[in-house]
């Protein structure tokens, strides 16, 4: 059988894993590459044909299949052109940045009878495969956890598109979510999103998320995604079984290099893609679309959790007085908002007032960038709700974001959303000043 002539679109960070897999496989040969970035093309050792764009590469012909390895927002545009050219395509996850666009792409591949293959490389990870092989078939899985923790800046390098929610699709949920969700589906089959909480930075990029998925039979999966992880890289799975036992796989076991497991995973991706091409595979990216639906489901669940309770009626303001001023700020505080949108406060209680610009933090979200205003005594009891306005000495300081209970029952940290984290001394706070929490 002759080797498939493969063209690679995009010569960025991940392409080296494809190029190495192609070089090592007798079943394929690199026939062309394209990238508008001249420096990226120049860095290639291979003597293959080079083009500045995928259309020129397709027009030049001489290809049997194409790998699409470009920023997320370009997947659909490039794949559509490859499919129009009648060529099988292997595209990086996520298939698209919206479910609708992914479905349209799959329909066009179906109409043209062209294999459309999504590269979910983690399902080929040796540790994942070993875990699957070890699990006793007769004992059902009742729960699992998938952790996908890294610092995106360690990967993104000189390309800023990862940190542009429009281009990336959102952040860690849109970009790493598909790989993690695909692993859950590998072990549990079809799942739906039950809950999600997502922390975003000031640019609106989701940097941290916890997503709970469930099967119709009652098994649950917790997926933790972190793009701000400070301790290198952590990608693992834990599986709990109905007999009370559990087992786990560290996807990075034995790898000393950052993303080192990708060498063997992408070799397997290529082998599977080649088989799909040779077999004229008919399944048009159903796993890719399932992953997109779970990404959309996570965003939807998170939005739903932010809608204020419909039962709220009128209420009186909560009054207090400043008893101590604080004057420091931190950007790594790691506060965690309570799941509750409101808290009752009693006369005589003391609570700490903390400002943050992370105004999108959902219930149970993490808050790192904070300014400390000070402590206040409650002089008129009541209910403080997320969204209440905070007034001190006749000025509106911000709105209540939530409550962190790390010092409770001594006191709550009442998080107040402000334009930027502000300390008490910065806004001229004085002991004895009156404050109030008013319905927003």
Ligand X SMILES: NC(=O)c1ccc[n+]([C@@H]2O[C@H](COP(=O)([O-])OP(=O)(O)OC[C@H]3O[C@@H](n4cnc5c(N)ncnc54)[C@H](O)[C@@H]3O)[C@@H](O)[C@H]2O)c1
Among 30, 35, 341, 433, binds ligand X (CB under 6 A): 35
235 binds ligand X (CB under 6 A): no
The dihedral formed by the CA atoms of 156, 162, 164 and 168, expressed in degrees to the nearest 10: 170
Among 30, 31, 32, 40, binds ligand X (CB under 6 A): 40
Nearer to ligand X, 81 or 103 (CB): 81
DSSP letter string over 322-375?
Answer: EEEE---EES---EEB-S-SEEEE-TT-EEEEEEES-TTPPTT-EE--EEEEEE
Among 6, 7, 10, 343, binds ligand X (CB under 6 A): 10
Please list, in sequence order, all residues whose beta carbon lies within 8 angstroms of the beta carbon of residue 198, skipping any fewer than 6 positions away: 171, 173, 206, 208, 209, 298, 299, 302, 362, 365
339 binds ligand X (CB under 6 A): no
357 binds ligand X (CB under 6 A): no
389 binds ligand X (CB under 6 A): no
Which range in 31-39, 296-304, 357-365, 384-392 contacts ligand X by CB under 6 A? 31-39
- Reading phi first (left if > 0) and then psi (alpha if -120 to 50, else beta), residue 126 is in alpha
The β-bridge relationship of strands 350-356 and 370-380 is antiparallel
Question: To the nearest whole angstrom, how small is the minimum distance from the Cβ of residue 385 to ligand X?
Answer: 39
Helix (H, G, I), strand (E, B) or coil at 43: coil
Question: To the nearest whole angstrom, how small is the minimum distance from the Cβ of residue 173 to ligand X?
Answer: 13
How many residues of this chain bind ligand X (CB under 6 A)? 24
233 binds ligand X (CB under 6 A): no
71 binds ligand X (CB under 6 A): yes
Among 4, 6, 19, 34, binds ligand X (CB under 6 A): 34
69 binds ligand X (CB under 6 A): yes
**Count, residues in the chain:** 440
Tokens, residue 212? 């709970």
Which range in 29-37, 217-225, 272-280, 431-439 contacts ligand X by CB under 6 A? 29-37
165 binds ligand X (CB under 6 A): no
Site map 49..68 versus ligand X, x via CB under 6 A? ----xx--------------
* Distance between CA atoms of residues 436 and 430, nearest Å: 15
Return the sign of the alpha-carbon dihedral for residues 293, 294, 299, 303: positive
Tokens, residue 309? 């309770």
72 binds ligand X (CB under 6 A): yes
Q: Which residues bind ligand X (CB under 6 A)?
A: 9-15, 34-37, 40, 53-54, 69-72, 74, 78, 92, 121, 159, 175
């Amino acid at each position: 059988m002759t080797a498939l002539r493969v063209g690679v679109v995009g010569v960025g960070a991940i392409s080296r894993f494809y190029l190495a897999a192609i070089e090592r496989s007798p079943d394929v040969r690199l026939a062309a590459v394209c990238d508008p970035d001249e420096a990226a093309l120049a860095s290639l050792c291979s003597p293959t044909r080079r083009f500045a764009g995928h259309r020129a590469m397709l027009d030049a012909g001489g290809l049997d299949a194409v790998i699409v390895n470009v920023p997320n927002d370009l997947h659909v545009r490039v794949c559509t052109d490859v499919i129009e050219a009648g060529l099988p395509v292997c595209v990086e996850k996520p298939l698209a940045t919206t479910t609708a666009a992914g479905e349209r792409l799959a329909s066009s591949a179906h109409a043209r009878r062209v294999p459309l293959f999504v590269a979910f490389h983690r399902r080929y990870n040796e540790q994942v495969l070993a875990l699957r092989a070890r699990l006793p078939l007769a004992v059902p899985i009742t729960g699992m956890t998938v952790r996908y923790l890294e610092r995106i800046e360690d990967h993104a390098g000189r390309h800023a598109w990862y940190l542009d929610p429009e281009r990336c699709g959102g952040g860690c949920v849109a970009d790493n979510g598909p790989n993690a969700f695909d692993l859950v589906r590998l072990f549990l089959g079809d799942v739906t999103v039950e809950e999600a909480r997502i922390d975003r930075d000031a640019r609106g990029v989701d940097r941290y998320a916890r997503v709970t998925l469930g099967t119709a039979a009652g098994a649950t999966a917790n997926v933790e995604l972190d793009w701000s992880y400070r301790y290198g890289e952590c990608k693992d799975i834990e599986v709990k079984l109905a007999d009370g036992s559990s087992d786990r796989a560290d996807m990075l076991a034995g790898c000393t290099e950052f993303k080192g497991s990708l060498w063997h995973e992408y070799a397997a991706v290529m082998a599977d893609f080649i088989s799909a091409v040779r077999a004229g595979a008919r399944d048009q990216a159903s796993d890719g679309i399932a992953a997109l639906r779970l990404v959309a489901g996570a965003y939807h669940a998170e939005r739903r959790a932010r809608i204020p309770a419909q039962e709220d009626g009128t209420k009186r303001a909560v009054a207090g007085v400043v008893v101590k001023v604080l004057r420091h700020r931190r950007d790594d505080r790691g506060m965690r908002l309570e799941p509750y949108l409101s808290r009752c406060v009693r006369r005589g209680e003391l609570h700490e007032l903390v400002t943050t610009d992370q105004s999108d933090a959902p219930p149970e979200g993490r808050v790192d960038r904070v300014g400390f205003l000070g402590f206040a005594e409650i002089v008129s009891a009541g209910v403080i709700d997320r969204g209440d306005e905070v007034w001190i000495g006749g000025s509106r300081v911000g709105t209540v974001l939530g409550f962190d209970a790390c010092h409770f029952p001594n006191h709550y940290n009442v998080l107040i959303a402000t334009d930027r984290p502000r300390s008490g001394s910065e806004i001229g706070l004085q002991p004895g000043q009156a404050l109030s929490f008013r319905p927003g």
